[in-house]
Amino acid sequence: MSTWWSDHPDLEGVARRGRRELIEEDAAAEGDTEQLRKRRRSLVDLCFEWMSRGDHVTIGVGTQQFDGQLVVAVNDLLVLRTEDIEVAASTHAVGFVRNNHRAAFDGTSGERGFGSFRAYLGTAEIEQLPLRLVGQGFDVTGVIDASTDDHWLVIDRNRVEWALTRRAIDYCLTTIGG
């Protein structure tokens, strides 16, 4: 059974145009909403989306670039894992993050052991993990011996003490499985 206006060609045309206009307005509103969402998210929010989807990304810190999977994106911390290293970077030092390929890995909601770059380094201190710490004018491999409010005390391979200010460390590298 047809509607009463389907018997009137003029009214059917008006209904068709009305439906088309509603569909177009709806699509435009959805596009505007998506653009507003993109404008409101932070770098960490964007990286969290890419991490959740399992995208293959590159992060650039200083003159270095690292390719792999994001496994942490929270507050001021991005952690990227490759086959053999883990890179923990302060978002304050990250120059760019590039999405190379969508869904290249299994997505993840992120590891929950760290809430910040400072917490990541604090865990390394407690576990006495050897780290390569890189920042403004230094590249030191060693173990964090102590942390204070304004610096990390690091003992390098030659037993030399380094006091690295908290804000000067851009990223650290750890070897996976070793």
pTM of the complete model:
0.79
Return the DSSP state at 4: G
What is the architecture, at CATH level 2, of domain 43-175?
Answer: Roll (2.30)
Neighbours of 173 (CB within 10 A): 20
pLDDT band for position 176 (cuts 50, 70, 90): confident
What pLDDT shows up at residue 136?
87
Nearest to 140 by CA among 172, 118, 165, 116: 172
In terms of Cα–Cα distance, which of 34, 33, 40, 122 is closest to 77?
A: 122
Q: Which residue has the higher pLDDT, 133 or 178?
A: 133
Cβ distance 116 to 75 under 8 Å? yes
Residue 1 has pLDDT above 60, yes or no: no
In the chain, domain spans? 4-40, 43-175
- Asked if residue 92 has pLDDT above 90, the reply is yes
Pinpoint the alpha helices (H) of the chain.
Answer: 9-40, 43-53, 117-127
Q: Identify the pLDDT of residue 178.
A: 56
